[in-house]
Structure formats: structure tokens, C-alpha cells
Structure 1
């Protein structure tokens, strides 16, 4: 009940701040909602985002600002197909908006955005001080619902004793035009990868099993780059990276949420601990993409958010705890 109440309170504040637009007619306004989600991450226990304002520029060049009251939430609580409803059904004048973004309170070590890991709490600086959102078209008496996806594996970096969050790992999507992906991973892939690269076992003995999502322009494993910011010639960087999870029975799977509908290709490796988000580790380092999990088509379905199940290799028998099962 507390969470629901806080969302209602935030909506009321936003509605009040939106008052004073050029038109008082309900036929000249539509509604806008924005959720925020991320992909599962390792090595980080909490990521506090503090949102300041929603900023939008209309077709006349006028800037609209809506206060988010410096609300804080832990991004790691909203992974895969879950999302934090940061903006709930606010009224906006009808029209096309560009340069849409959410400003955040940069971390300074005491206040603002932060990251907690095994070494304590660190300040978090978001690139240019804002989270980018795609252009938005508001239609009279209709609600536009979008989600901002933040892929922490690709975008979260530690530099000079503080964390940085880069825009290259973010995208936003209209919820009516996106779908979710569940990957069921062949357990033999996992076992074979760990055996083949036993000499690269990380400290602590636990491999980092990752799934990599590529555009459909990638047609083979030889074209799959790692997370480095500058992929080698002929290789393509992943669009998203997600940690493999295990069910209580030990079955391997992964989840990627809020993907724009379209065609993709999936890769797998157990050597995620060797994949630096900046460096090229696939041609100049020890990282190897282990398996090509073939192509996948993400469809939105009639209402958006359709769940697609993809078997990697022989799959795992249809097990993906907490994310539902196969449809009938």
C-alpha cells in the first residue's frame, strides 16, 4: 500500500506542476507514463537513482518541466521484466516532443545517485546529468506508456573511485511496441564452457555466465564482439547483456525485458568476468564467445509486452523460475 500511495502522491504533484498550459480543454491533452528497468548485474548490491525533473521540448521550442521531487529508488529492485513506475499518467498538451530526458541528482559521495558494492558506498555520475528518452507524441485522450531500459553490464563503469553510468547502455521503448525475452540455456553448454576454460576460473571459483543480444545483422559467432566500447573491424557490439540465473532446481536461464520488436541474435559465454565494458577483450584479451544461440524474433503481441521463449541449444526443459512458463 505504501508504494501505491507514493505513486499517487507523485502523480498529484506532477499534475499540479503541469497546470498552466495553453489549453484547459481535456480534448487537448493526453497522458504520459514512464517506467525504468535494468538487467541483472553482478558485483553491485544497490544502485540508487535520484530523479529531479522530466524535461520535454514541444514543436514550438517551448520547454516543459515536471518536478519529480528528487525521488530515490533502487534500480536493482526492477530487473528483467519488472519496472519502476517513475512517472504515472500525467497530463500533457497534445503534440510532438523532442529532447526528452529526466535530469538526475549527480552523486557526490553523500547525496544524490550512488552505488553500493563489496567495498562500500560510492558516488554515481550519470553521463551529462540526465537519462535520455526517445521523442514522444502525445495524442488527445490517449495514454503513452514508455519504459527506459538501462543495461548495467554495458553502461556502469568504475573510474577514479566513482561509478559512471553511460548513455550507450540505455534505450527507451513504447510499451505497445516491445516484448520480453526468456532464454532457456542448455546445461551442457554451461558445463562444457567451464570445463574447456578451467584454466581461466575466476578468483572464488564462480564463472560469470552471460547472454549477449545482437542485432540481426550479426549472422555468426565470428561477428560477435564483447562489451568493449570500440569493437574490432567486422565485429558488432552487443545491444544488451544479461546474467544467467538458476532456478531452485539448478536450471539455467536469462531474462531480457523491454526489447523493441524485431529480429536479434543471441550469444553465450561463461567468461563474463574477463569482459571489460571498455576494453576489447575478444581480440586483445582472453575473452571468448562460446556459443551462438541462433536468431530470435521479438514480437509485441496485441497489447505489447509479449513474452518470447528461446531455447539455447537444447534448452533446459522449460524452466525459468519467476517468469512464467510456456504458453498453451
Structure 2
């Protein structure tokens, strides 16, 4: 049997990032927290937390994923037993571009109806699954089609992207078109230092690796888009986000390049009713904003 008092200590140390921080949150001494972690590690026969820096090991992550699912289900039961107006927090992993094209507004009715406080863990769609694997979220939007253990997947659709810039920027840097040479000279606005969609496109379509082109790193979707509007960079953005500015002449699409990223909703196999309502709202949102994926009904 799992000892949830010990698991609570593991969860709190992982969240706080230190034994001292966990002790303050649990109103225990640091020694007591350390003892609980040792007992848990002895019971499972392996190290669950690396100490410097403090972080869960792979087996620790597996246990944390379980305990956080249990916590979410318990929160649902407590909420159902409490007053109808009680609020509850639900964490989901989401790519920033889905927020930029209207996700919050689309699921707002479900949030208000169920008194849900949304906790968005924002990352590139290639990395959101990490939060689900850790048990930090009840579900996530990701570009990976394969389900992780203990989880299920629903296809959402494809989100179209295109590279855009102001007319002046395009005339200055891309008069000769989109080529490896022109892209290597033009300042880009990218979402993150790690392997984002923009970086993958430059590498796979044009052979440009990170460091071979100038780039502003702007880890916020609307601010990244603003950099393109300000004329300091070109950016790869959702087509729906740029459509109005292109129609008004404030931005231009760069060539005929169109990138489509398939997106999926990953969630725990045992979903709570609240998580199921969020999932249903996301599927409805995707039907109006994403393209059908190959093999999926349109």
C-alpha cells in the first residue's frame, strides 16, 4: 500500500524545490521532511529525489504523477460535497499559440459554469507533454500523436503557420526571396532557445542550425507577434493571428510557405467530470480554429 503522508512530502519537496521550503509548507521541521523522504526511498528501494539540485528522479516522477492524479480526484470529490459556488483550480498544459488564437474565450463558458480557476502551464507544443508525464496537469495540447502511459489522446486538428514581416522588412531582407542566404542574414523572432517550430523549420527546410542566424528570443506569443509588427524581425505565427494585419497591409506573408502543426489533447485515462468538460470545450474550440487532420472527419 502507498503511504500518502510520505508521498505528500515528496510532492511538496518537488514543488518547493527544497527540503526547507517543503518543511515550511507542511509545518514540519526539515529533519522530519528528510526522514519521510528516506522512509519512502527505503520502501521503494530506490532514490526518488536527487539532492543537488533537488529534483525528482525518473521513479520519483512516476510516483508524483500518481499522487497528483489522486489529489485532483480528491479535490473533485470535496468540491462536489461542498457548496455549489466553491472554486477549484485545474492545471492544463497549453501551447502559447492556441491562447493567441482565442482558446480562453472559447472555453470561458465551461470555466464560469463550473467555477473553474484555470492554471495554464505554457510551453511549445513539442514540450507540453512533459507536464503531463510529471502529473503537473490534467491534460495538455501537444503535437505528439502517441499517448503516454496511463493517458489517452484526442485529435484536435492542424494549426496553420506562416512566416510574416512588415513590407519594409521584407523588402530589406527578402528581396531575393526566402533562401538559406537571406534567412541567415535576417533577424528572426523565435519563441524559445530550445527547438521551437521556427527553429525546426529553418533547420529542416533551409539547413540553418541555431547560431547561424540572428534571432530575438521572445517567449510570449503576442509579444513575438508584436516584434514582427514593429519591423524588428520576421516571425512564424499562426495564420489566423496574422490574417487581419495582412489584409490591412501592415504585414506580408513571406513566399508561399505554410507550415501545419498537428495538435492533440492528451489527458489522463481516468478523467474527472471537470476535466472532461474542459476537454469537450477544447474539441469544440479546435473544430472552429484548426484544420482536420488526415484521416479524421472534417
Do the structures match in fold with TM over 0.5?
no
Higher relative contact order (CA 8 A, sep 6+): 2
Query: Greater share of helix residues, 1 or 2?
Result: 2
TM-score (norm 1): 0.24
TM-score (norm 2): 0.26
